Structure 1
Amino acid sequence: MTDSDTAVLDRIVDGTTAVLLCEADGTVVDERTLPVERLPEEGRHEGAVFELELEDETVRTVTYRPAETADRRAAMQERFDRLANRLGEE
């Protein structure tokens, strides 16, 4: 059986191990580790969004999602800006 998950790169440990947080409906539901070499080079940064193709719980392919990564980054910046404005008003 083939399945897919959305995952976000949380961190890279010792330059060798990628820690990915798997999500379902915006909630973290699992954590997977992969060798960094398995990630597409352009997505080897914190916050990068990937689609993981799974077969029997084994990661078969990892696809970088640059548009989704940019959307999330923009949404985070917008939230940060709103919070900063509120703090400036106090």
Structure 2
Amino acid sequence: MTERYTAVLDRIVDGETAVLLLEDDGTVVDERVLDVDRLPEDGRHEGAVFDVELADDDSLEADDDGPEANDDLETMSYRPSLERDRREEAQDRFDRLSERLSDE
């Protein structure tokens, strides 16, 4: 059985390691660390949004060495339209918060 999540690229460390935040219904529930080379090329930037599928834990071999440790990532697809929508929503929220309150 696979689990599906939305993942956001939080950061790239030293140009080699990517940190993905996994979200379930808009809440961060976990993170995955992997080699940047495993990301789709057009999604190798902070804030990139992906659909990911994770393998069932029972099918994995235990290995705690480096970014590939506990490698349960089965598929990943870049979602540029979802990324754009999320950026626009965040900007709208910021704009509303930065408006002056009325004098009432």
Which residue pairs with 2:4 in the alignment?
A: 4
Matched, 1:13 2:10: no
SS of alignment partner, residue 51 of structure 2: strand
SS of alignment partner, residue 51 of structure 1: strand
SS of alignment partner, residue 15 of structure 1: coil
Q: What percent of counterpart residues are identical? A: 65
Single out whichever of 67-76 and 2-11 deviates more from structure 2.
Answer: 2-11
State the alpha-carbon separation in 1 of the partners of residues 18 and 38 from structure 2. 9
State the alpha-carbon separation in 2 of the partners of residues 2 and 31 from structure 1. 16
Matched, 1:61 2:75: yes
Single out whichever of 55-64 and 35-44 deviates more from structure 2.
Answer: 55-64
SS of alignment partner, residue 95 of structure 2: helix
Which residue pairs with 2:39 in the alignment?
A: 39
* Equivalent position amino acid for 1:79 in 2: R
For normalisation by structure 2, the TM-score amounts to 0.77
State the alpha-carbon separation in 1 of the partners of residues 29 and 3 from structure 2. 15
Q: Which has the larger radius of gyration?
A: 2
Question: Alpha-carbon deviation of 1:8?
Answer: 0.6
In structure 1, the gaps of 5 or more residues are none
For normalisation by structure 1, the TM-score amounts to 0.88
Which residue pairs with 1:73 in the alignment?
A: 87
* 1:82 equivalent among 71, 86, 96: 96
